[in-house]
Amino acid sequence: MYKDRKIRKRLIAFFCTEALMCSVCSAVAYSYFSSAEEGGSHYQDASSIQLEEPVLNKAEDKVEFSLENLTDADKDVVVQIDHYKDQAFVNRDEYKLTLPSGTEQTKLSLPAQPGSRFTLADSAGSVYKDKKELGTYDWVGTWASSQLEATGENAPPKPGLSGNTFRQFIRPSTGGEKIRLKFSNKVGKTPAELKSVHIANQVNAARSEIDPATDTVVTFNGSESVSIPAGGMVTSDPIDYKVDPLQLIAVSTYFGEVPANITSHTGARCNNHFAEGNHVSDESLGNDLNRRRVSWYFLEGMDVMSPERNEAVVCFGDSITDGYGTNPNKYQRWTDAFAEKLMENEAASHLSVLNQGIGGNSIFGGLGQAAKDRFDHDVLEQPGAKYLVMLMGINDIGYATDESLTARMIEQYEIMIDKAHEKGMKVYMCTILPFKGNNYYTENEGPLREKIRLAVNEWILTKSEADEVIDLSAAFTDPEDPEKMIKEFSNDWLHPNAAGYREIGRIVYEAMMKGEGFDAK
């Protein structure tokens, strides 16, 4: 859908039929050209025009959508907007558009309101959207975590989760009035039993207290308990529970029998609390250091029932996205900074942020499931996922002994980008940060690994099919030593410090605001 971004824009003409009275009749013009060195007259992977899903704007007075024509022929299309009142048809506005060959993704808007129905067809009879009702609601992910096995110091406190309570804290990005929770038993070899799950507001980010007035029972098919099959997951019933953007939420679970292999996200970056017995509604579970873990167990995601214009940004990566080195309970990951800036900007506050980073993860292996294998679930299957921000590959490079890794990494990037495009997602690809000074940069292999990093980054910058490139490497490179990270942003010469993570969040935010045409604030 988002191919061949080097093609220049040509002309779009907007006009209304004379037979119909339209509330708006506008003309939008862009100048386009294409040059021989940019590929001649044939466009890539384009057999028809492309329509981005039409949605109402925040004011609910216009429908917004995008069109693209990268075929070798001009296309004539007709947009029909049927207006209804109390379920009864009132009138139809009709717009004819000419999309010349080479028209890139172009955003348009037309008068509409909740209940209006949108249809788009071309002169050849192909229908791209048929009477889609505008102003509807659907589930959109607002918080997520990628799953792996909890081992060693990341395992639950003794005597274990079975028959006991674990209270874990999350910070959703966008809010709403109705939510649902998702639990995973991905690595379990036997079922995991949730005897009781409660949700409540957290009172203090550093402590286990909840606001008892907000304590709410979570059900599964009407029951307070549920068994998650080995390797499976469950989704709760919809919960009437008001969540504000960036609000701290407690999920308290009283467990029955659990597998020996505990499904977890080991980089929660917040303290979660354990208590023996059933204490899901207790105001406090204490603050015993030996009963705390900076991990989530079995908890995979939260979705919120959202207006149709709401969309999710999936941030896919390794420990840099997971926030290695940040202080617990401070929410200092770059995805936290990114979400905060989105919520500060009304024009972008409909975008949620899903952190799908795993520390130690790599394209071909590492901790957790290999990125190439978890991509479908962690990115493509997230509700409402519209954007992908990918910062992945440093752990592959950090163990490289052969320059052939470059081609293999690029091959997997291409596969993931194509999959995202096929799903209708827009891809923002980040270059890989410098790492000299870290253990990955050994005396023998350091120069080879740096050569691979530079080659991969060159491909990202000049040849990838990503829709937008975010050159983090350029922003973080020390001009006095181009193989090294700027000292003021470095934790260990591989991972950024808190200031560095804030800078990544700012850069990603500004890149997305520019790429999507939102007002950056």
Helices (H), 298-445: 319-322, 334-344, 371-375, 394-398, 405-422
Rounded to whole angstroms, how far apart are CA atoms 513 and 516?
5
Predicted pLDDT at 143: 98
Q: Are 420 and 379 in contact (CB under 8 A)?
A: yes
Strands (E), 146-248: 148-149, 164-170, 176-184, 192-201, 216-218, 226-228, 233-235, 239-243
pLDDT, one tens digit per residue, over 450-474 is: 999 999 999 999 999 999 999 999 9
Predicted pLDDT at 105: 84
Rounded to whole angstroms, how far apart are CA atoms 2 and 92?
31
Q: pLDDT grade, residue 521 (50/70/90)? A: low
Considering only 17-26, 211-220, 293-302, 314-323, which range has the smallest mean pLDDT?
Answer: 17-26
Token pair 């080659």 is found at 455
Q: Are 303 and 182 in contact (CB under 8 A)?
A: yes
Predicted pLDDT at 190: 98
Rounded to whole angstroms, how far apart are CA atoms 251 and 278?
13
Compute CA 277 distance to the chain's CA centroid, rounded to the nearest angstrom. Answer: 36
Predicted pLDDT at 46: 54
**CA-wise closest residue to 450 among 436, 461, 465, 460:** 436
> Torsion-angle region of residue 224: left (phi > 0), alpha (psi -120 to 50) or beta?
alpha
Rounded to whole angstroms, how far apart are CA atoms 82 and 133?
9
Predicted pLDDT at 29: 32
Considering only 30-34, 142-146, 255-259, 430-434, which range has the smallest mean pLDDT?
Answer: 30-34
The answer, yes or no, to whether residue 495 has pLDDT greater than 70, is: yes
Considering only 24-33, 170-179, 341-350, 411-420, which range has the smallest mean pLDDT?
Answer: 24-33
Compute CA 112 distance to the chain's CA centroid, rounded to the nearest angstrom. Answer: 28
Rounded to whole angstroms, how far apart are CA atoms 94 and 78?
7
pLDDT (average), residues 443-455: 98
The answer, yes or no, to whether residue 35 has pLDDT greater than 60, is: no
Predicted pLDDT at 52: 86
**CA-wise closest residue to 268 among 249, 242, 287:** 249
3-state secondary structure string, 124-140? CCCEEEEEEECCCEEEE
Residue 272 neighbours by CB under 8 Å, 6+ apart: 166, 167, 168, 169, 292, 293, 294, 295, 296, 297
pLDDT (average), residues 393-402: 98
The answer, yes or no, to whether residue 279 has pLDDT greater than 70, is: yes
The answer, yes or no, to whether residue 188 has pLDDT greater than 90, is: yes
The answer, yes or no, to whether residue 55 has pLDDT greater than 80, is: yes
The answer, yes or no, to whether residue 498 has pLDDT greater than 50, is: yes
Please tell me which residue, 517 or 270, carries the higher pLDDT value. Answer: 270
Largest CA distance in the chain: 77
The answer, yes or no, to whether residue 9 has pLDDT greater than 90, is: no
Q: Strand pairing partners for 389? A: 315, 428
The answer, yes or no, to whether residue 36 has pLDDT greater than 90, is: no
Rounded to whole angstroms, how far apart are CA atoms 218 and 240?
10
pLDDT (average), residues 55-78: 92
Q: Which two tokens stand for residue 378?
A: 């962690």
Residue 244 neighbours by CB under 8 Å, 6+ apart: 175
pLDDT, one tens digit per residue, over 316-357 is: 999 999 999 999 999 999 999 999 999 999 999 999 999 999
Predicted pLDDT at 53: 86
Considering only 37-41, 101-105, 256-260, 429-433, which range has the smallest mean pLDDT?
Answer: 37-41
Which of 302-341 are b and which e, b meaning 16 or more Cβ less than 10 Å from the residue's Cβ? bbbbbbbbbbbbbbbbbbbbbbbbbeebebbbbbbbbbbb
* Neighbour-count burial of 78, counting CB atoms closer than 10 A to its CB (0-12 exposed, 13-18 middle, 19+ buried): middle
The answer, yes or no, to whether residue 37 has pLDDT greater than 70, is: no
User: pTM of this prediction?
Assistant: 0.88
Rounded to whole angstroms, how far apart are CA atoms 475 and 434?
10
Handedness of CA 258, 260, 266, 272 (dihedral sign): positive
Token pair 């980073």 is found at 357
On average, the pLDDT of the chain sits at 91
Q: Phi/psi at 94 (nearest 5 deg)?
A: -130, 135
Rounded to whole angstroms, how far apart are CA atoms 73 and 97?
14
Polymer length of the chain: 521
Predicted pLDDT at 21: 31
Task: Check residue 480 and report its DSSP letter.
Answer: T
pLDDT (average), residues 59-83: 93
> Torsion-angle region of residue 330: left (phi > 0), alpha (psi -120 to 50) or beta?
alpha
> Torsion-angle region of residue 503: left (phi > 0), alpha (psi -120 to 50) or beta?
alpha
Considering only 31-35, 91-95, 167-171, 476-480, which range has the smallest mean pLDDT?
Answer: 31-35
Q: How many CA atoms lie within 13 A of 404 on its CB side?
A: 1
Give the Å distances, CA to CA, from 49 to 5, 64, 96, 155, 464.
Answer: 15, 17, 15, 51, 22
pLDDT, one tens digit per residue, over 110-130 is: 999 999 999 999 988 899 999
Token pair 């919809």 is found at 238
Angle at 496 between CA 491 and CA 502, to 5 degrees: 130
Rounded to whole angstroms, how far apart are CA atoms 218 and 251?
9
Token pair 């350091």 is found at 446
pLDDT (average), residues 156-172: 98
The answer, yes or no, to whether residue 94 has pLDDT greater than 90, is: yes
